[in-house]
Amino acid sequence: MPASPFTVRHARSIHGLLGEVNSEPPARIAIGGALLPASDLASAVGRDAPDAVAVQSRPAPPDELGEFEAFIVVIDEWPLTDGVHEQLRAADRAALPIVAVLIGLEDEPRSDEIPYVLATDVVRADRVADAAVPAVERVAARAKGEAYRIAHALPHFREEAAKATINHYARLNGLVSVASMVPLADLPVLTLNQLRMVARLAGAYGIQLDAKRLIELTAVVGAGLGFRRIARTALAALPGPRWAMKGGVALGGTVAIGEAAMRRFRAEVESGAPPADNAVDAP
């Protein structure tokens, strides 16, 4: 198994990264909009951690919303009432990612008609219960590399947070690889991003990382580093734009490492085994 270049030389900085992941507080989500559906959605989202969500029955000042990581607005009538519009405005002023959940509204509004909400962050459902998973998926996607904090708060949604984490770092590494003009110059950055991803996946599953885990993580990423070198050598003989193939290798390798880590961490949680007794399986 190829050794990772970060095993010794960058161990201190990586150890600091792991400590940062272990010490970050859980995320909290505010839910507003139509009061009764918002309360029902809060119950569905926070069923195993009710303190992680809070229903906003009125427009809250930005400093009050500052304790939350995202705002979900539940809309069951159109056009918006003044109260719901003000809630959205307050969440936007607090710079919170906003996800809109439309209940029973099939034809209107269009996804791009809801103020302060990106068209990609609109969830439609016939029932509130059906909206919980896709709403949290969108919140996790907006959280990017911090999605593990959502899993800290809402363990029932670990899978959604883990997948969002993998997708974020896979896309990031794909872009890094495409942008790199010097052969192999991107490998240290790709490797560090993969370590950061695996550390956050461990955090999503509530697994504490220590010095022993640090060694295990570098072994996992070392295997990914070897994969990238072999794949790039093979790609040199294939036709097509090199930049696209490089990006594909970086993206695919990061996904493979992330999914392998996710499976291992999930198995540890399900088995109840002490986290430090198991290593992450390399892809």
Report pLDDT digits (tens) over 9-65: 455 556 666 666 766 789 999 999 999 999 999 999 999 899 999 999 999 998 899
- CATH T-level fold of 29-144: Rossmann fold (3.40.50)
How is the chain split into domains, by residue range? 11-24+148-277, 29-144
State the pLDDT confidence band at 192, using cuts at 50, 70 and 90: confident
Confidence at residue 127, expressed as pLDDT on a 0 to 100 scale = 95
* Residues pairing with 71 in the sheet: 30, 98
Confidence at residue 220, expressed as pLDDT on a 0 to 100 scale = 64
How far from the centroid of its chain's Cα atoms is residue 10's Cα? 25
Q: Identify the three-state secondary structure at position 99.
A: strand
CB atoms within 10 A of CB 61: 10
Q: Identify the three-state secondary structure at position 153.
A: helix
Is pLDDT of 282 > 50?
no
Packing angle of the helix pair 11-23, 211-235 (nearest 10 deg):
120
Is pLDDT of 252 > 50?
yes
Give me the helices (H) in the chain, please.
11-23, 35-45, 62-65, 82-93, 132-143, 148-153, 158-179, 187-204, 211-235, 242-271
Q: What is the mean pLDDT of the chain?
A: 82
CB of 69 closer than 8 Å to CB of 150:
yes
Q: Higher pLDDT residue, 13 or 104?
A: 104
Closest-CA residue to 170 (of 261, 253, 265)? 253
What contacts 273, CB < 8 A, 6 or more positions away?
none
Phi, psi for residue 75 in degrees, rounded to 5: -120, 120
Task: Show the tokens assigned to 103.
Answer: 């209940």
Tell me the C-alpha distance between 201 and 194, whole Å. Answer: 10
Confidence at residue 14, expressed as pLDDT on a 0 to 100 scale = 61
How far from the centroid of its chain's Cα atoms is residue 31's Cα? 19
Q: Identify the three-state secondary structure at position 70.
A: strand
Is pLDDT of 3 > 50?
no
CB atoms within 10 A of CB 27: 22
Closest-CA residue to 99 (of 56, 58, 131)? 131
Confidence at residue 140, expressed as pLDDT on a 0 to 100 scale = 97
